[in-house]
Structure 1
Amino acid sequence: MGLRRLISEAFQTLRSNKGRSFLTLIGIVIGISSVITIISVGLGVQAYIDMETSSLGANVVMIRAGNFVGSEDGYSLISRGDLNEICGLPYVIDCTPVVEAIKVAGGAGDRSVSLILYGYSESGIDLAGNELVHGRGYTKEEILDASPVIVTWQPVAERLFPGVSNGAIGEKILIDNVSYEIIGEYAERGFGQAVTAQFSFASVPYTAMQLRHLDADRNHYARMMAFVDLSAKPIGEAMDEIETLLRRRHQITGSERSDFMITTSTEMLGMIETVTKTFVIFLSGAAGISLLVAGIGIMNIMLVTVTERTREIGLRKAVGGTNFDILTQFLFEAAVLSMVGGLIGIALGLGASFCLEAVFRSLGNGFEMIRAQVDVGVVGLTVLFAGTFGVVFGFAPARRAAKMEPVLALRSE
């Protein structure tokens, strides 16, 4: 039996049992679409984690005020004195306060762009793993004066000042009715073109951000970063000494819980990665159960189909059809049923992935960086898997059909 005829008869079987086929397809569609969505979003989260890990490096110690145990009294901001003493440690190359990112709208003329805005010290841009490609960073005087200067990410200038080749150095951006002068531009990283000119990053002196956007105390911070010389002190020992220093300054003794958290960038992102992988595995397991149920559904519908077509099977054998011909026909029908469900599931899964991306973008607070990642190889393997899946669960009914005795099959009503 030719391939074209096999395909034609497989689709004819689907059409002749529309209700039954639809119910069977639902399980396959749900399972495959869930897997595609989980993988696409999971790859996006992994790409974000990889980007952050590579940009910050293994020698960055991150300190955050608060112990995250849910107690309101377990919170104390990092003071200017804390920062200065940590910066004075012999193995600390440099350090910077980090003012929490906020989402703002930046504009120039009739053009605008959504920005995630960070506040750093004069060394913060380098510590955060950014590479300047045009202009310069802030000076100490600009930090002290809370000067309205800004260093942008590459797509900002491309969006607001098209055709400008020098990073739009000297141009003005209006943020919250404050006019900022662009003094530098740093390179794209991580997602590259996946994050477009419609959404980007910029940083200003942390003092300017506290004064002009947060109305915060310039001498206290929620976060800071320290850059450790690993040739002078292993990162673990450096963290222990910084923790001891802060506990002493905050007058925390004995078994009292620290009112701050200290970790390396790789540890922090590693924890996020572990949680993400666990979540992906859990959801994949749920999707796998859905596929198993769908497979049982394929087996059941094929058993019913074999029973209904017993006389047809007997007739085919009587006119010369072999066991292999019958086996191939029913296996092909099961594979086509599964692949149709797989293709629909892939389309719905990709659609759901990009819908989730839009949801992440609307949430803000860093979720904007998560982009659905479409892996063509995964999509191809999913199509192959769907076909194989149908063959596996359709084998028992197809084998039953192939082993029928033609005389007994022809007598069937």
Structure 2
Amino acid sequence: MGSEINLEGTESSWTGGWFSWTRQSDAMLRNVEKKILSCLKTAYKRFYVDIGSVVGQSDKIWTISLNEESPQTPLVLLHGMGAGLALWCPNLDAFAATRPVYAIDLLGFGRSSRPKFASDGQKAEAQWVESVEEWRREVNLDQFILLGHSLGGYIASAYSIKYPERVRHLILADPWGYPEKPANADKPQMPLWVRAIGTALQPFNPLWAVRAAGPAGKWLVSKTRPDISRKYLNYVQDAEIVIPEYIYQCNSQTPSGESAFHSLMTGFGWAKNPMVKRIDQLDPALPITVLYGSRSWVDNSTGQVLSENRPNSKTYVQSINGAGHHVYLDKPDLFNKFVLEACARADEYDPKPAILENKKAKETAQTSTSVSTS
């Protein structure tokens, strides 16, 4: 930890060299990330965390940390599909003003290792969960607040099911993968670009076109989603050039995490194993905050479903008016405010004793059932 590790020996072309023109540049990704993060007023560290052979032979997770010396509960950020940790730049200063903050590139994305995940969705999900847990062990965090956006929210939920005693408060920002796929999903109320990915390109990884476009990939990103770049103009110098370059560099590599995501989904908007079927596995003592954009294409029933299925639990739901799926970027001031309120609640209430008691009671009940049936 604490220094950058050279990963240039890893494969840098998604086709293994057949389309050499699509090769991304590790140096370019490193430099463009640094340029984005230069907007931060808070000092930060950048380093790889070696998590061992969770999926590949020697997996490494790219990490930045801010305000590590603060005694308050740390906040850990998990980004969404096709993103990277630098895209949290509108939020990091506000979060780090009160506590330690860690943002990571999920395994298979950004500057983290690109191992080949299991082709089975449930196994790939378990691998992601274990990668986060190994990262936690290496960074030596006992408990933390876990914030996940979109796919990161799905992974954060799966992690919280398996390791609830480590999560002081779960924050879901427009999480993907909660509701079941409805019967009329063939006509979803989604933007055209989402439907194009989810339907026409179903056999492919979602961002295959970025790689297939070769050097024109960054142009494709800027023309497809110019709104995202514009929203960074208040933070990042030359954002209309820098942000598409960053997104392109993050997604022109071997599509390891993207393939794992593909194994989780049934149509772009839905999960094969939706979280709604597993809400009863979330410990009732675990507090959850759900933040979603009022204009998002992602189904926004998650908060209501969690509240209804966990009637005796602490569940906080907040719709942010005018925000879309990228709720952390569309309305950053409001988003930061609601996240900090959730963090303050986490500082005041520690669910770990109740979670451990529930875990012990469950194990006792299972033991009793096993004895009585044998």
Larger radius of gyration: 1
Query: For this structure pair, what is the TM-score category when the shorter chain's length is used for normalisation?
Result: under 0.3
Task: From the two aligned structures, give the one with the greater helix fraction.
Answer: 1
Calculate the TM-score normalised by the size of structure 1.
0.23
Calculate the TM-score normalised by the size of structure 2.
0.25
Using CA pairs below 8 Å that are at least 6 residues apart, which structure has the higher relative contact order? 1
